[in-house]
Chains A and B, each alone.
Chain A
Amino acid sequence: MSQRKVLQGNIIVAKAALAAGCDFFAGYPITPSSEIAQYMSKEMPKMERAFIQMEDEIASLGACIGASLAGKKTMTATSGPGFSLMQEHVGMAVMAEVPVVIVNVMRGGPSTGMPTKPAQADMMQARWGTHGDHPIIAVYPAFSEEIFSETVRAFNMAEKYWNPVILLLDEVLGKAHMDVEIPEPGSYEVYWEKTHQIVDLNIYDRKIGENPPRIDFFHGYPIHIDGLEHDAHGWPSFDAKTVDKMQKLRMQKIYQNLDDIIKYKEYFLDDAEVIVFSFGISARSALAAVKTAREQGIKAGLFQALTIWPFPRAALQEKFQKIKKVLTVEMNMGQMKYEVERIAPGDVEKQTLLRANGMPFSPDEVLNAIKEFVK
């Protein structure tokens, strides 16, 4: 039986992580994400799963990567400043192809900024925070059931693609208590494919675009995992041809599987004259605004991105063939709007509703922006 409950967004994340099989959590306290670690510290020992509070966020992600290589499903949770500290290890997990889920309950920045206020502040940090060219997956739920389902999906994708997956959440959604349907175990997919039939040491050897197998330590083969660029054995190599191949392997495992990775929701887009493009908390206001607009005879629709990285480019471009106006609504000073501008054809009119002062948009504010745009 599924259960209907009133829960804090952070607790929904924690419950979903445990439901997805998360058996290792390392974290460091930071507002507004701390409830996730607190819940894990209480529940994980009961299930004989490992919880540890580390000395900082760098150590937290380090411990997660280590545990992941020892066969655990791992997660850490943080906010903007902690996420910045983690960035070197995000790159390490990408390079060594280690599954890990990183929750970033976003707050106002930069620096200490506004720890108790929401902001969709780290959209670009999620994409480009670590150094070097790299693929990344980031998901961003807005509604209560999505917080559960996207957390489970984050674990599934981390395990499937052997890559860090970032779960973005808004401060208000992390902290707010909301009505949520917790689905029955078994009613959702939990991906956990362990392939320990390694026959040789070529652990990174596979065809371009193929999903990698999950390999971890202590299964009879003395494997080497390295943050240095490496060959199919995982041994350090700077040979140009090898580097080319390994880079392609890491990129294409994501970019050849976009159908599986990209998820979005569309509301009233079939006959719309204006697309509201939004995500997270802003999408909630935008949905209410779009519904009111419809009542008032304005043909507005909402494109809500659930997978924010890789950007749902193809899906949005398809909409732009018919709909020639796009309003990007985001709680920052303009981050994803550049992504929209980059992919939208020249004949599409682009407008934005932006703000980063700690106050989420009200549905009326989004409605007014729509009205102003279609006038």
Chain B
Amino acid sequence: MRDYEKYIRYRTFPTPWCPGCGDGVILKSIAMAFAELKLDPDEIVVVAGIGCSGRMPTFFNTNTLHTTHGRALTFATGIKLAKPEKLVVVISGDGDATAIGGNHLIHAARRNIGVKMILINNGIYGMTGGQVSPLTPPKFFTETTPYGNIEPHFNVRKLLTAAEATFVARETINRLAQLKQVIKKSFQHKGFSVVEVMSNCHVNLGRRNKMKSPLVMTKYIRDITMNMADFEKLSPEEQAPKYPLGIFEQNSARLEYTDLYYNHIVPVAQQAGAKGEK
């Protein structure tokens, strides 16, 4: 047994994911990050919303919670505020995190609550059969954009930076070592963190856009992503369809929410209470 396998709940296998899906890579890289940090499985809770990503917690041999569509961050916020010493990980898809759960995403970032989010971006609602998501690239064909997508997609990096997120990163399923490393760093960050993982849905996005096989789709992900240094050399027009990779924000100066609450608000309130102030 490899060291990361103690974090995998084999009894609940098989997974519901299609052969070639990037979710398996992400499952493994998260477990590897747990192992490298030598975490006690009972000190971890993995929370997810709805979608293909929503099923991921079932396969971690930690405390796990499968919630409602888009709201995983709200449950995670409750858990973190209740037990600040625990590692609270949220797994979310692009529809889950940026459409129905978009409000919770920006507020978690604004609050800087110490929840670790893995945002799996496969650009599609996979589990419901392939409908357009807020991260589907323009002109792509989906079940609900049969003539091509006319909407622009969110830039998760800029969205979260604007919401004052203290840890923002992007990686791809093509680079397991880097992905594990970035996830590990996000777990070590005290405040709110988001790692956006570019993943493939060859079945429900690729198939309708001439990328039927997982291999073709992972090559496509390789082609649209690049290191930040290379990205910055491009003109704005050239940048538009590309996704830079790496850690974009890593700010430890701003205090984490539960730290502020228990170490700042509680003493102030107790002092006021002792003085008998209203």
Contact = CB atoms under 8 A, between A and B. Distances in A.
B82 A24 contact: yes
A27 interface: no
Given A89-B68, A225-B65, A58 B12 contact: no
Contacts of B66: 224-228, 236
A67 B269 contact: no
A63 B74 contact: yes
8 shortest interchain CB distances as A-B pairs: A66-B78, A62-B74, A63-B78, A45-B269, A66-B75, A70-B82, A67-B78, A67-B82
What does DSSP make chain B's interface, helix, strand, loop or mixed? helix
B261 interface: yes
B130 interface: no
A218 B47 CA distance: 14
B57 interface: yes
A318 interface: no
Contacts of B63: 217-218, 222-224
A233 to B, nearest CB: 8
Given A55-B103, A221-B42, A26 B78 contact: yes
A54 interface: yes
A213 to B, nearest CB: 17
Contacts of A54: 74, 77, 107
Given A55-B107, A70-B83, A235-B12, 13 more contacts: A24-B82, A54-B107, A58-B74, A59-B74, A65-B75, A66-B78, A69-B75, A70-B78, A70-B79, A70-B86, A72-B82, A92-B68, A224-B12
A219 interface: yes
**What is the size category of the interface that chain B forms with chain A?**
35 or more
Given A46-B273, A55-B107, A70-B83, A88 B68 contact: yes
Nearest to B266: A45
B77 A66 contact: yes
A76 B108 CA distance: 19
B68 A227 contact: yes
B58 A222 contact: no
Contacts of A52: 77, 81, 261
B135 interface: no
A65 to B, nearest CB: 6
B79 A66 contact: yes
Contacts of A217: 45, 63, 65, 79, 83, 86
Contacts of A310: none
20 contacts: A45-B265, A45-B270, A48-B270, A52-B81, A54-B74, A56-B103, A59-B77, A63-B81, A66-B82, A67-B78, A67-B82, A72-B82, A217-B45, A222-B41, A222-B42, A224-B58, A225-B64, A225-B65, A226-B65, A236-B55
Nearest to A89: B68
Contact of A63 (B57, B75, B270): B75
A369 interface: no
Interface string B1-35: 00000000100100000000000000000000000
B149 interface: no
B83 A71 contact: yes
A64 interface: yes
A49 B159 CA distance: 33
A116 to B, nearest CB: 25
Contact of B86 (A62, A68, A74, A218): A218
A219 B65 CA distance: 15
A50 interface: yes
With most chain B CB atoms within 10 A of its CB, the pick from A63, A71, A220, A228 is A63
Given A59-B71, A66-B75, A217-B79, A224 B64 contact: yes
Contacts of B272: 46
B174 interface: no
Contact of B270 (A46, A50, A66): A46
Interface string B54-92: 010110111111111001001111110111001000000
Interface in A216-262: 217-228, 235-236
B75 A220 contact: no
A105 to B, nearest CB: 22
A220 B42 contact: yes
A273 to B, nearest CB: 51
Given A46-B273, A71-B83, A235-B12, A62 B42 contact: no
A39 to B, nearest CB: 11
B9 A222 contact: yes
Contacts of B268: 45
Contact of A222 (B62, B75, B77, B262): B62
B209 to A, nearest CB: 31
A171 B64 CA distance: 39
Nearest to B66: A226
Contacts of B67: 62, 65, 92, 227
A65 B79 CA distance: 8
A50 B81 contact: yes
B170 to A, nearest CB: 25
A34 B16 CA distance: 44
Nearest to A64: B78
B99 to A, nearest CB: 14
B189 interface: no
B237 to A, nearest CB: 36
B212 interface: no
Contacts of A221: 42
Contact of B61 (A60, A69, A222): A222
A24 B261 CA distance: 13
Contacts of B75: 62-63, 65-66, 69
B43 interface: yes
Contact of A48 (B12, B41, B266): B266
Contacts of B43: 218
A148 to B, nearest CB: 22
Interface in B92-112: 103-104, 107
